[in-house]
Amino acid sequence: MSKWRHWQSFRCRSFSGAYMKLQSGLVILKESLHTMSTGEKQIADFILKEPQKLMVLNISELAIECGGSPAGIVRLCKRLNMKGYKELKLRIAMDISREQDRTSSSSTRKDLSPGELQSTIIENHIVALQSIESVLDVEALQEASRIILNSRRIDIYGLGASGIVGQDLYQKLCRIGLSVSYVGDSHMQITSACSLSERDCFLAISYSGETREVIKAVQEAVKNGVPSISLTRYGANTLEELCSINLFTPMNESLIREAAMTSRIAQLTVIDILFSMISSADPGRFQDNLDTTRQALLDERF
DSSP annotation of 235: S
Residue, of 253 and 160, whose pLDDT is higher: 160
* Percent of the chain whose predicted confidence (pLDDT) is above 90: 53
Q: How far apart are CA 204 and CA 238, in angstroms?
A: 12
pLDDT in tens, 108-121: 556 778 888 888 88
Q: How far apart are CA 35 and CA 80, in angstroms?
A: 10
pLDDT band (50, 70, 90) for residue 97:
low
Q: Where are the alpha helices (DSSP H) in the chain?
A: 3-8, 25-32, 38-49, 51-54, 59-66, 70-79, 85-99, 106-109, 114-135, 138-149, 160-175, 186-194, 212-223, 238-242, 262-281, 283-299
The confidence score (pLDDT) of residue 158 equals 96
pLDDT band (50, 70, 90) for residue 106:
very low
| Burial of 218: CB neighbours in 10 Å, binned 0-12, 13-18, 19+ | buried
The confidence score (pLDDT) of residue 266 equals 92
**Domains of the chain and CATH, by start:** 3-123 (1.10.10.10), 138-299 (3.40.50.10490)
Question: pTM to 2 decimals?
Answer: 0.70
Q: How far is CA 173 from the centre of its chain?
A: 20
173 has a pLDDT exceeding 70: yes
Question: CA nearest 199: which of 147, 128, 129, 123?
Answer: 147
- Going by DSSP bridges, is the β-strand pair 201-205/228-233 parallel, antiparallel, or unpaired? parallel
Which of 106-110, 126-130, 133-137, 152-156 is predicted with the least confidence, judged by mean pLDDT? Answer: 106-110
Q: How far apart are CA 37 and CA 34, in angstroms?
A: 8
The confidence score (pLDDT) of residue 186 equals 93
pLDDT band (50, 70, 90) for residue 23:
low
Residue, of 235 and 156, whose pLDDT is higher: 156
Residue, of 230 and 256, whose pLDDT is higher: 230
126 has a pLDDT exceeding 60: yes
What is the average pLDDT value for the chain, to the nearest integer? 84
229 has a pLDDT exceeding 90: yes
19 has a pLDDT exceeding 50: no
235 has a pLDDT exceeding 70: yes
245 has a pLDDT exceeding 90: yes
What is the mean predicted confidence (pLDDT) over 73-98? 86
pLDDT band (50, 70, 90) for residue 195:
very high
151 has a pLDDT exceeding 90: yes
Greatest C-alpha distance within the chain: 72
* Percent of the chain whose predicted confidence (pLDDT) is above 70: 84
56 has a pLDDT exceeding 60: yes
255 has a pLDDT exceeding 70: no
